[in-house]
Structure 1
């Protein structure tokens, strides 16, 4: 999976799993990734995960979807930097999240966000598609 897509998916999934019974398994797996790739940051990440869990539980109780989105963005950014520093952890990250999701009953499994695009152009038509930001400057 593309590292950017994986970071997006993983950030959302990690935060979603924080409010489930699979949280401990998820936390342990994510911290283990950091211990392997960036050992000096592992304890900090462990603390950040626990703090984020408290925040997501509060956000969900209060119906604060904007707060939850901010937390997801934060973890997408952290995971993007981890994957950039050590692309070899990508497969392990996918496995940690897949195992955590699979440990939950199907109705409790967080969905895995995906983007699917299809375009068809003909003649002089132009198609612009993006899974994230897109800036087009035509002159």
Structure 2
């Protein structure tokens, strides 16, 4: 099999299982089911059910994430073998699901001036300061 398709299947499976416990899950599930609906409509309902079972398994045992991703990698790989033209659509879905894909670009600029014995603390995100 084409190494690019193998890498795509692996990336898709890790992304899919990784998003199962997030707010993006419904959108992710709908995108994957729609992909199957167009490529293999006779399997779309079964894939929707399998996604639900996988999510339940993940909720019951978060340590099973790698195993579940491997299972989905096989399913996605088989789909790509049968329908290689789906790769473009799958990549488009992954790009859409990428962290920050729908978030607007933000520029942060920080400036500070300290004098004497003062201190300045700046952070672009969480900051924890422990002084004694």
Fold equivalence (TM over 0.5): yes
Where does residue 24 of structure 1 map in the other structure? 26
- The one-character-per-residue Cα deviations of 1:52-107 (angstroms, maximum 9, x if unpaired) are 111112222xxx2xx211101100000000001101111111111221232479xx
Q: Which residue of 2 aligns with 1:52?
A: 54
The structure with the larger Rg is 2
Q: What's the secondary structure of 1:2's corresponding residue?
A: helix
Change (3 A) 1:104 1:10: farther
TM-score, normalised relative to structure 1: 0.67
Query: Structure 2 length as normaliser, TM-score?
Result: 0.70
Partner of residue 41, structure 1 = 43
CA contact 1:22–1:103 (8 Å) conserved in 2: no
In 1, distance between residues paired with 2:93 and 2:43? 19
Unaligned runs of 5+ in 1: 106-139
Q: State how many pairs are aligned.
A: 100
Answer 1 or 2: higher relative contact order, Cα 8 Å, separation at least 6: 1
Distance between the aligned counterparts of 1:5 and 1:26, measured in 2? 19
Q: What is the correspondence of 1:70-81 to structure 2 with a 5 Å cutoff?
A: 70-81=67-78
Q: 1:19 to 1:104 in 2, by over 3 A?
A: farther
Shift of 1:11: 0.8
Matched with 2:8 is: 6
Gaps of 5+ in 2: 105-132
Indicate whether 1:89 and 2:86 are aligned.
Answer: yes
Determine if contact 1:34/1:41 at 8 Å carries over to the other structure. yes
Residues 14 and 26 of structure 1 are in contact (CA less than 8 Å); yes or no, is this contact kept in structure 2?
Answer: yes
